[in-house]
Amino acid sequence: MMRLLHSIYRDKKLLLTLFLLNFLILSCGNQKLLKPSCILPSGVDLEEALAHSRKDLGHFECETRFDSYYQRLIEVAKRDPDMENKRRFSEFLEWAHDEGIIDKIQARNYYNRYFNTTFMSLPDDYNVCSSCIEDTQKDIENQMENELRQKEEGLLKACRDKNAYYAASDQYNSILLLLDATCRSCRN
């Protein structure tokens, strides 16, 4: 009888060991479940979307989609505009820089394109004749127009900062006037 009990105990121990080994093999073979999904955030709560983005972008596989995450965060912020969104985006960009996802210049550009009245697409030498070649002038105007749209999304739609947006819009018009006057002068 003792031998039978000992045999049953040994068989249970062997069965448990086989079960655990099988479980480990199956879980190791199913690595797909452990990979991040890199699904862009959704909804209307910017704080939740930022937390979701931080979690996903914390994985190397998702880092290459930073621009898509940032664009989606702007869309989420537009559904719940608030002046605090400037600070939230600033903190998010600081985090992304600290994590090595983007560099300092990229972080500054992302923020300034959407939340600052200064135009990042304007070259430093915009007031010289080299900017007046027809294609170059058109390129500068197109880049500035795109950036004004980004400022509209960030300042006006995501933050409801009408004063800052109107200041950016005034600056845009002034720069276009200055560029046009400079180019007329250069052509004469």
Annotated domain spans of the chain: 43-115, 129-187
Q: What mean pLDDT is predicted for residues 151-162?
A: 97
Taking the C-alpha atoms of residue 167 and residue 175, their distance in angstroms, rounded to an integer, is 12
How does the average pLDDT of the chain come out, rounded? 86
Residue 176's nearest CA partner among 127, 141, 149 is 141
What are the C-alpha distances in Å from 57 to residues 23, 70, 83, 117, 168?
30, 11, 25, 28, 31
Q: How many CA atoms lie within 13 A of 185 on its CB side?
A: 11
**Contact indicator for 122, 140 with CB cutoff of 8 Å:** yes
Residue 70's nearest CA partner among 98, 99, 100, 101 is 101
Between CA 146 and CA 152, with CA 150 as vertex, the angle to 5 degrees is 115
Taking the C-alpha atoms of residue 152 and residue 114, their distance in angstroms, rounded to an integer, is 7
Instruction: Tell me the whole-structure pTM to 2 decimals.
Output: 0.76
The string of pLDDT tens digits covering residues 58-83 is 999 999 999 999 999 999 999 999 99
- Amino acid identity of residue 1, one-letter, is M
The string of pLDDT tens digits covering residues 97-148 is 999 999 999 999 999 999 999 998 877 665 577 778 888 889 999 999 999 9
Q: What mean pLDDT is predicted for residues 78-89?
A: 96
φ/ψ bin of 100: left (φ > 0), alpha (ψ from -120 to 50), beta (otherwise):
left
Taking the C-alpha atoms of residue 98 and residue 95, their distance in angstroms, rounded to an integer, is 5
Residue 97's nearest CA partner among 88, 85, 106 is 106
Between CA 148 and CA 155, with CA 151 as vertex, the angle to 5 degrees is 145
